[in-house]
Amino acid sequence: MGDQEFHLPKSLGNHTPKIGLVLGSGLGSFVDTLDDNEQVAYSDIKGLPQSGVEGHAGKLHLGKLGGIEIAIAQGRVHLYEGWSAKETASMIRLFHQIGITTVVLTNAAGIVNANFKPGRWMLISDHLNLTRQSPLTGEATFIDQTEVYSRALREMLKSEAAEIASAYLFEGVYAWVNGPEYETPAEVRMLRGYGADAVGMSTVPEAIQARALGMRVVGLSCLTNYGAGLTGQALSHDEVIEVGRQAAGELFTLLENAVPAMVEI
Ligand code: HPA
């Protein structure tokens, strides 16, 4: 076991989840809905970076959702805190270490496509890495990125969402930026020109890392606000967290149905 990157408490050995979920800003309340929930603080896992950002409490939860075993990472670290891209993808390597094969990445994102609506969810179809950082730097790992976000899982999620009247899913391209400052209106116009539908500061390094390890990836963005310049309003982190909180219930309803379907695909 000495060559393993993360040193995990022994009690975690009782759980054998195949699905891992990473929760974004404001979505932490999701974990209250887990059955048989066992929690481990990130500080009790040797090798894992610790976040200091409000709304990103660092805990790993192991429990059941819709009757299926799942690991949920509540809180992640970001480039803007000074971590490397490789460090921001640590949780994915931990998931891989414990046998997880499918990762569900969630985040809070700003809207770039003005047809999208705050408070709604966007299924990530593809991404733009605008940070020029990679979690794979240092390895000659030339992975294919033709289909980072599993098409089969996306189709399944869309049909599950269609069964729940309130859970309408947008679908689009997520642009990863460094932050921590939000974009200028000129940057939001540029992002739209590049083909982005939403913008945020996470998820992409985890998706790249997961693909490099041969895992399946699903990405879901909570559209918390219009990007700068799309309305006359200023952006605030408090609003991002609050809208995320309100949208967490819908994510739960969707995943409660979709997680059991995920293990069948
Ligand atoms: N921009 C970047 N990241 C974000 C935003 C935004 O508008 N909202 C939530 N995360």
pLDDT for the residue 1: 45
Residue 201 CB–ligand 1 contact under 6 Å = yes
pLDDT-derived band at 57 (thresholds 50, 70, 90) equals low
CA of 199 to the centre of ligand 1 (A): 6
Cα 257 to ligand 1 centroid, rounded to whole Å: 28
Fold (topology level) of 15-262: Rossmann fold (3.40.50)
Residue 52, pLDDT score: 64
Q: Helix 237-262 to helix 151-163 angle, to the nearest 10 degrees?
A: 100
Going by CA atoms, what residue is nearest to atom 10 of ligand 1?
109
Q: What is the mean pLDDT of residues 248-265?
A: 87
Tell me the CA–centroid distance for residue 172 and ligand 1, in Å.
15
Query: Per-residue pLDDT for 169 more than 70?
Result: yes
Determine whether the shortest distance from the Cβ of 130 to ligand 1 is under 6 A. no
H-run or E-run covering 193: helix 185-194
Kindly indicate the confidence band of residue 252, based on its pLDDT and cuts at 50, 70 and 90: confident
**How many residues are given for the chain?**
265
Cα Rg, the chain, nearest whole Å: 17
Range picked from 71-75, 240-244, 248-252 for highest mean pLDDT: 71-75
CA distance 203 to 173: 12
Instruction: Read off the pLDDT of each residue in 152-172 and give the average, rounded to a whole number.
Output: 89
User: Does the model's pTM come out above 0.85?
Assistant: yes
Task: List the catalytic residues.
Answer: 25, 56, 78, 80-81, 108, 201-202, 225, 237
Crossing angle for the helix pair 204-212 and 90-97, to the nearest 10 degrees: 40
- Using one digit for the tens of pLDDT, what is the confidence trace for 102-123? 999 999 999 999 999 999 999 9
Cα(37) to centroid of ligand 1, in Å?
Answer: 30
**One-letter amino acid of 102:** T
Q: Is the CB of 248 under 6 A from ligand 1?
A: no
With a cut of 80, say whether residue 24 has pLDDT above it. Answer: yes
Q: Which two tokens stand for residue 190?
A: 């540029």
Which residue is closest in CA terms to ligand 1's atom 7?
110
Terminal Cα-to-Cα distance of the chain (whole angstroms)? 31
Model pLDDT, residue 54 = 56
Phi, psi of 103 (to 5 degrees): -115, 140
